[in-house]
């Protein structure tokens, strides 16, 4: 299965599109006649499970507004950030073109030097040190937030035209997830990694769930698509609770927490 980027691009007004072998050369026609920054994209995005999972991550913790002319994804886990970087590479975005913003609470910080913290993430993500923006240090985190000793990283790719194409591609993948069970499974792995939670009583799991202040109906349909039976949306937890051995068995079989190492370990320890 694949997404035809040429079809997506041709839905956007005021674009010039040319083909060169397997690449699309795209530019924006501006009113004053000055050429825009040229964009080169593949004709197709192959929907591997890794690509679909990364779009699921973006569903959970990506910025979908086009207001800032950038693609943005934030997380604390290096594995998930690297997975999203690999998705950007599908759109011909190099590591050297990604900007990084770090937000961190002083009370949690294991590294308290700006340069050392940037160096740590530069090495983890293979992104040049000079691509890191000014670090934001917060004084005190809320009681509901978990400690993140290396901060929360926001990956940013700036390109007005690319943002529009990326968002349209994302929505197409999301629609495929709603209609194809296997795509839904991979998409949900990304969502569970980004917005899934696990509550335990003693050593056993009491419930799991998915936080979703937005897109409640879509999340519910995706959960039902793979056979899960969530409870009613809970305003206090801002998500759908999922209880019961049958549901837990489906989550285990589909490996829905597998992308997030800490959540996966917590889930596996709770069902043993």
Sign, CA torsion 178/181/187/189: positive
Q: Which residues contact 6 (CB under 8 A, 6 or more apart)?
A: 17, 19, 24, 43
Could you list the pLDDT tens digit for every one of the 272 residues in the chain?
899 998 998 888 778 888 888 899 988 776 665 656 788 999 999 999 999 999 999 999 998 776 668 899 999 999 999 999 999 999 999 999 999 999 888 777 777 788 888 999 999 999 999 999 998 888 765 554 566 788 889 999 988 888 989 999 999 999 999 999 999 999 999 999 999 999 888 888 888 988 887 889 999 999 999 999 999 988 887 889 999 999 999 999 999 999 999 999 999 988 76
Residues counted in the chain = 272
Instruction: Tell me if 49 sits within 8 A of 1, measured CB to CB.
Output: no
Hey, what's the torsion of the CAs at 178, 179, 181, 185, to 10 degrees? Answer: -30
pLDDT for res 144: 46
pLDDT for res 148: 74
pLDDT for res 157: 92
Question: What is the Cα–Cα distance from 131 to 96, expressed in whole angstroms?
Answer: 7
pLDDT for res 125: 95
Nearest-5° angle of CA 60, CA 64, CA 69? 140
Question: What is the Cα–Cα distance from 255 to 185, expressed in whole angstroms?
Answer: 9
Q: Give me the sheet containing 99-105, strands edge to edge.
A: 62-63, 70-75, 152-158, 99-105, 136-138
pTM above 0.75, yes or no: yes
Q: Radius of gyration (Cα) for the chain, nearest Å? A: 20
């Amino acid at each position: 299965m694949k997404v035809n980027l040429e079809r997506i691009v041709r839905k956007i007004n005021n674009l010039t599109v040319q083909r060169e072998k397997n690449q699309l050369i795209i530019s924006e026609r501006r009113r004053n006649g000055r050429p825009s920054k040229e964009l080169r994209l593949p004709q197709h995005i192959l929907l591997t499970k890794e690509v679909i999972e990364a779009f699921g991550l973006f569903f959970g913790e990506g910025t979908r507004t086009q207001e800032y002319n950038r693609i943005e994804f934030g997380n604390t886990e290096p594995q998930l950030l690297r997975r999203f970087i690999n998705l950007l590479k599908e759109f011909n975005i190099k590591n050297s073109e990604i900007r990084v913003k770090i937000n961190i609470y002083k009370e949690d910080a294991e590294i308290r030097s700006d340069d050392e913290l940037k160096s740590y993430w530069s090495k983890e993500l293979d992104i040049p040190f000079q691509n890191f923006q000014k670090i934001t240090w917060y004084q005190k985190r809320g009681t509901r937030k978990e400690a993140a000793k290396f901060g929360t990283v926001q990956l940013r790719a700036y390109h007005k035209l690319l943002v529009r194409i990326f968002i349209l591609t994302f929505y197409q993948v999301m629609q495929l997830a709603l209609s194809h069970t296997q795509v839904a499974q991979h998409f949900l792995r990304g969502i569970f990694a980004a917005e899934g939670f696990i509550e335990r009583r003693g050593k056993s799991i009491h419930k799991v769930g998915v936080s979703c202040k937005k897109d409640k109906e879509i999340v519910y349909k995706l959960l039902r698509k793979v056979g899960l039976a969530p409870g009613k949306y809970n305003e206090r937890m801002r998500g759908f609770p999922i209880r019961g051995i049958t549901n837990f068995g489906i989550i285990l079989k589909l490996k829905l927490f597998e992308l997030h190492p800490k959540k996966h370990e917590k889930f596996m320890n709770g069902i043993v």
